[in-house]
Chain A
Amino acid sequence: MANCCDRSCLMGMYAAASLALGFNQSTLLELQTGFAWMARNFVPTGGALANLTTILYQLWRTFVIAVAAAGIAGVMSLVIAVIGAQNIGVRNAGVTWLVRGCASILRNIPIIAWALILLFSFKQNELTGFLALFLMNLGFLTRAFLETIEDFDTNKFEALTATGANKLQAICQALLPEIAVPLVEWLLYMIENNVRDATLVGLLTGTGIGFLFDLYFKSLNYPAAGLVVLTLIVLVIGLELLSNQIERRMSA
């Protein structure tokens, strides 16, 4: 009974939404034309391979910036999160609120907005791209680490302070080993995310793989653009496989 109601509800909503937007159902039939065009134009041809070295070089630069932004933001976020966590750190409600608030602002501004803001000061530069990624990462990782730390069992922390260890020692010897795996998972996720965002940011800053894609696209060199996309896919899949390996080794 409930199932039937759900289905008709959904169909009703779909019909209403299509009507409101002026969506013409027949365009759905043209999906295959779209895909066919993509297949014809975007598939990298032999000629496109001439650009491979340029593409790989820019991909490398983009990757390095992604890793650097995540890495540096990671270290800073860890310190900030330890200070601001409710169960460890200074344990002041005001500090926690401040840390969460700032992290929220940093990560909720869209990356494009960050890039545009920073363009004014730093111009079309790889530094602009790095800074945009770094600031967003700082916000995101602080929040992620705060959650991870607040999940931590404080009894273990207590056990160490009961031996006479001071807070800093307890943080390094109890907290960090226990949260090491989630921490690395977050970092790897951030690097992957950065690679994707870097393409977007590169469009604006005129550097990296994003710029290259834009260049080929605008000059109607679709096969080369397709090659860029392909290399990006390979990189992201490679990162995924690498992070699985690392996680498996760390949890063993």
Chain B
Amino acid sequence: MRSLNQLIRDDAGTVTLNGENLRLLNKRALQRARRNIGMIFQNYNLIDALTVVENVLHGCLGRKSTLRGMLALYSADERAEAMALIGEMGLSEFAFVQCRHLSGGQKQRVGIARALMQHPQVLLCDEPIASLDPKSATLVMDILRQQADNKQLIVVVNLHQVAIARGYADHIVALNQGAKVFDGTAAALTDARVQEIYG
């Protein structure tokens, strides 16, 4: 997942978004391209010392000048948008609570709101539900599916749970020990196929 937005720089292959190969971009161009790619993580990677709304507002740092970003000078529109996103996630009552006080599922939703704040074309989700209980996991996957539909996002999710992948995805790429063993629609990934791949 990290090579998709070049958080790990690999040395072969191509990652193309809107016609440009991300692997070949220099630092500044890559930074600009990353605005278009949101990412959520297994361990949420939120700033626990800050409140929910402050974390969500981090999503627009890519669009702001260095100085305004450093000093956290956000415009009224940006704040309104952040509050709206927090509302969409069902976290309105927690908007001014420090993230250290939130549960795993709530933190992941804040992470999603932060990524959506970027107005991305692509949303990368690196094991988003691995640390969550089943109820929160379903909630998060529902939100991801909803947002993908409503905002026409490309959502790339990295999961170990085959059942969940089949339940939510349009297209599935299955890997087994580093090799690609399936690349097709979710409908085509039948029980028989899964048995074949993973035994």
Residues on A lying within 8 angstroms of B by beta carbon are 155-156, 158-166, 168-174, 177-178, 180-181
Contact = CB atoms under 8 A, between A and B. Distances in A.
A163 B46 contact: no
Nearest to B69: A169
Given A158-B7, A173-B61, A166 B49 contact: no
Interface string B4-31: 0101000000000000000000000001
Contacts of B47: 156, 173-174, 177-178
A125 to B, nearest CB: 38
Contacts of B59: 163
B118 A164 contact: yes
B160 to A, nearest CB: 20
A163 B70 contact: no
B115 A163 contact: yes
A180 B114 CA distance: 22
Nearest to A169: B69
Interface in B109-145: 114-115, 118
Interface in B51-91: 58-59, 61-64, 66, 69-72
B31 A164 contact: yes
Interface in B31-61: 31-32, 34-35, 37-39, 41, 43, 45-50, 58-59, 61
A174 B114 CA distance: 14
B49 A180 contact: yes
Give the dominant DSSP class at A's interface. helix
Contacts of A160: 58, 61
Contact of A158 (B45, B48, B62, B118): B45
B31 A166 contact: yes
B70 to A, nearest CB: 4
Contacts of A162: 5, 7, 34, 37, 39
Contact of B61 (A155, A163, A178, A180): A163
Given A173-B72, A177-B50, A163 B62 contact: yes
Contacts of B114: 163
A172 B70 contact: yes
A159 B45 contact: yes
Given A155-B41, A173-B58, A168 B66 contact: yes
Contact of A155 (B43, B58, B72): B43
A160 B45 CA distance: 9
6 contacts: A163-B34, A163-B59, A164-B34, A165-B62, A165-B69, A169-B69
Nearest to B72: A173
Contact of A178 (B49, B58, B63, B69): B49
Contacts of A174: 47, 58
A102 B49 CA distance: 32
A172 B62 contact: no
A249 B66 CA distance: 30
A169 B61 contact: yes
B55 to A, nearest CB: 9
A163 B45 CA distance: 12
Contacts of A163: 34-35, 38-39, 58-59, 61-62, 114-115, 118
B45 to A, nearest CB: 4
A152 to B, nearest CB: 11
A52 B16 CA distance: 76
Determine which residue in A164, A170, A173 has the highest number of CB atoms from chain B within 10 A of its CB, and name it.
Answer: A164
B69 A173 contact: yes
B79 to A, nearest CB: 15
A163 B69 CA distance: 12
Given A156-B46, A163-B62, A173-B50, 5 more contacts: A161-B34, A163-B115, A172-B72, A173-B72, A177-B47
Contacts of A171: 70
B114 to A, nearest CB: 7
Contacts of A164: 31-32, 34-35, 61-63, 118
Determine which residue in A155, A159, A173 has the highest number of CB atoms from chain B within 10 A of its CB, and name it.
Answer: A159
Contacts of A156: 45-47
Nearest to B37: A162
